[in-house]
């Protein structure tokens, strides 16, 4: 309990620093519209997807076969918003409460390291958890089933899977992940017990998904209205990835979307490492009695393939929203904590991992083609930008490799400023993710 209270105080300290950073940016003229109670009824918060959720809250689902419509979004968050009777500012505060609840659940059950907690809270995309998006609700409901895995509670797992599958389209990630857990933990001794249990979990996810499809059909008369909208008007059909990877508002967004993509690459490597030991060394050590962490790594790996195979082609596969998808979920916090606390890779292994991931990411976003196709005006400025991304990734890996607390807290301060600046950009109608 003392450890949990310490993390609770760190959470409050984080928001004190957040306030100081906000005050500093306001004095510099970069955050005039950022405070939680802006003038004009909080309209600055109804940008992008928030506007779609607001339209569902106000008018219900509407389907347009010839253009984007709000059936491209899942219903749980706008339902709660409608029932609450809150405006944009009020629902932002409620979302902050959901996010805080999820953080406390994870800190309590998983003994999250205090430095890792602060570092995670400072990630630039975290602001999506306190605006009118579904991220905070998904974070909270997903945290419920992660705690269920930790406590071996079938009820918590079922409730969390069901609610989070009503908040976001999760079946494409959850079902392969649950099957992956079955494969990893399979043995002749637990087969009869594991298969029915995980079969029920898969069934719960499918029931939630088809409830959403059915609910939208009862209102719009269109079966699979969600998938129709996502494929035809959000351009999320399956395709081969096209390199170099790109982004909307490239200079502002590519660096943190690339960092997020790197986290999913780390998850994939960790997953491969764990299965290698499982199959060839008959060793469950990496995720022994830790299905929550294994679920987290599987989910983040699934996001990597989703971004590469289902994201639109904007003269290169687009990384738009990658930082929101990857950084705003509880699975990333679990990954950070596992890497930091358990030190799965040796110092030498972490060095090789860092070199490989950094080179892979920089090449993927166009390092080898920076002169012929600069992403920042001129080849020289593009090279500077690649240097910034590479340095940021290097500092991240160095901090984790050596458990360097001062460096991690330095990154915390830098990211905190960026988080508020990204929130400012969002309220100005710029695409952030």
Q: For the chain, give every domain's residue range.
A: 236-402
- Residue scoring higher pLDDT (286 or 123): 123
pLDDT at residue 12 greater than cutoff 70: no
pLDDT at residue 182 greater than cutoff 80: yes
- The pTM is what? 0.93
Local structure of residue 408 (DSSP, 8 states): H
pLDDT at residue 39 greater than cutoff 50: no
**φ/ψ of residue 68, rounded to 5:** -60, 140
Residue-level pLDDT at 21: 64
- The stretch 281-297 carries a mean pLDDT of 89
- The stretch 301-308 carries a mean pLDDT of 98
Residue-level pLDDT at 120: 96
Provide the pLDDT confidence category of residue 360 given band limits of 50, 70 and 90.
very high
Max Cα-Cα span within the chain: 65
Pair of tokens at residue 222: 């269109």
Distance, in Å, from the CA atom of 37 to the CA atom of 422, rounded to the nearest integer, reads 17
Distance, in Å, from the CA atom of 128 to the CA atom of 373, rounded to the nearest integer, reads 32
Pair of tokens at residue 258: 């690339």
pLDDT cut 90: percent of the chain above it: 72
pLDDT cut 70: percent of the chain above it: 90
Pair of tokens at residue 368: 């080898």
Distance, in Å, from the CA atom of 312 to the CA atom of 178, rounded to the nearest integer, reads 27
pLDDT at residue 42 greater than cutoff 50: no
């Amino acid at each position: 309990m003392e450890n949990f209270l310490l993390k609770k105080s760190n959470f409050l300290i984080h928001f004190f620093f957040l306030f100081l950073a906000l005050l500093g940016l306001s004095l510099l003229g970069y955050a005039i519209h950022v405070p939680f109670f802006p003038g004009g009824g909080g309209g600055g918060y109804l940008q992008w997807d928030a506007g779609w959720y607001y339209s569902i809250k106000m008018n219900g689902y509407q389907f347009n076969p010839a253009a984007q419509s709000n059936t491209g979004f899942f219903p749980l968050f706008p339902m709660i918003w409608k029932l609450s009777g809150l405006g944009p500012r009020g629902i932002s505060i409620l979302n902050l409460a959901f996010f805080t609840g999820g953080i406390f659940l994870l800190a309590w059950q998983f003994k999250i390291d205090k430095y890792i907690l602060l570092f995670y809270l400072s990630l630039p995309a975290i602001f999506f958890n306190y605006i009118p998006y579904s991220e905070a609700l998904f974070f909270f409901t997903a945290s419920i089933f992660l705690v269920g895995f930790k406590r071996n509670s079938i009820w918590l797992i079922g409730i969390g899977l069901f609610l989070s599958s009503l908040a976001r389209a999760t079946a494409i990630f959850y079902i392969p992940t649950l099957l992956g857990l079955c494969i990893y933990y399979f043995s002749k001794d637990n087969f009869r017990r594991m298969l029915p249990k995980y079969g029920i979990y898969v069934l719960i996810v499918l029931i939630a998904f088809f409830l959403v499809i059915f609910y939208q059909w009862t209102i719009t008369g269109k079966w699979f209205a969600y998938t129709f909208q996502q494929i035809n008007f959000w351009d999320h059909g399956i395709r081969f990835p096209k390199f170099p990877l790109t982004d909307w508002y490239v200079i502002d967004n590519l660096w943190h979307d690339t960092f997020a993509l790197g986290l999913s690459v780390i998850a994939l490597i960790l997953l491969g490492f764990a299965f290698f030991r499982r199959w060839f060394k008959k060793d469950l050590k990496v995720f022994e009695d830790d299905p929550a962490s294994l679920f987290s790594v599987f989910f983040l790996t699934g996001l990597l393939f989703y971004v590469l195979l289902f994201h639109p082609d904007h003269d290169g596969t687009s990384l738009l929203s990658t930082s929101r998808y990857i950084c705003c979920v509880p699975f990333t916090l679990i990954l950070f904590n596992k890497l930091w606390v358990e030190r799965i890779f040796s110092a030498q292994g972490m060095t090789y991992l860092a070199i490989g991931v950094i080179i892979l990411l920089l090449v993927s976003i166009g390092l080898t083609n920076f002169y012929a196709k600069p992403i920042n005006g001129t080849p020289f400025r593009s090279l500077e930008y690649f240097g910034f991304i590479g340095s940021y990734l290097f500092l991240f890996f160095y901090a984790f490799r050596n458990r360097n607390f001062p460096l991690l807290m330095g990154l915390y301060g830098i990211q905190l400023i960026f988080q508020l600046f990204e929130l400012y950009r969002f309220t100005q109608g710029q695409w952030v993710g």
